[in-house]
Amino acid sequence: MSDSRLTDRLEVAAHTRNLALVREFLHGAIKRSALPATDINKVVLAVDEAVANTIQHGYEGRDPGNVEILIEADSERFSVKIRDSGVSYDTAKGIESKADLDLQKHIASGNKRGLGLFIMRKVMDEVSYTSREGDRNELTLVKYIKPRN
């Protein structure tokens, strides 16, 4: 359905103080999309985790650049691309890894790392990452709106 098609874009400086702005932008976009209201908080959380990872790891020890958030949605899927020009970060390895985090063991050891990636995978149906040297990195998160047959 063409009336559920949606694109939107936000570019912010790669600083954690802008996460609130990112969440507000997402709330607005999701409300205009075909995603059910019950998914709003979860999808906002997953994208917040992704953007926070990009800001914290992609620009570690470097001058902060910008992070671009691109939303493309239709009646079947809600897709968010997070683009940055920072270094390729460790999360990418986690995304490629098939192994799931043993959460209880992880938490019992007092380990806090990897929880953001766990949330991204738990909430979203697709999580993928591409990185090219000298070019931008792109993390894509997709939530299906209708079950695929």
Partner 1 sequence: MREFEINLEQLSPEVTLIHVAGWLDAHTFEYMEQTINNLFDEGKVRLAVDLSSVEYISSAGAGVFIGTLSASHERGGDIVLMNPTEPVREVFDMLGLSQVFKFAKTGPEAVKLLKK
Site residues (vs partner 1, CB under 8 A): 16-17, 19-20, 23, 41-42, 45, 48-49, 52, 55-56, 103-104, 107-112, 115-116, 118-119, 122-123
Other residues' Cβ atoms within 10 Å of the Cβ of residue 71 = 21
Nearer to partner 1, 38 or 149 (CB): 38
List all residues 6 or more positions away from 36 whose beta carbon is below 8 Å from its beta carbon: 145
Per-residue tokens: 108: 């019992």
Other residues' Cβ atoms within 10 Å of the Cβ of residue 79 = 17
DSSP label at residue 8: E
Contact 40, 31 (CB under 8 A): yes
Min separation Cβ 132 and partner 1, Å: 26
Nearer to partner 1, 19 or 87 (CB): 19
Min separation Cβ 16 and partner 1, Å: 4
Nearer to partner 1, 1 or 99 (CB): 99
Min separation Cβ 113 and partner 1, Å: 8
**Could you tell me how many residues make up the chain?**
149
Min separation Cβ 117 and partner 1, Å: 9
Nearer to partner 1, 86 or 116 (CB): 116
Min separation Cβ 122 and partner 1, Å: 6
| Nearest to 82, CA basis, from 5, 25, 137, 142 | 137
Nearer to partner 1, 17 or 146 (CB): 17
Alpha carbons 58 and 13: distance in angstroms, whole number:
12
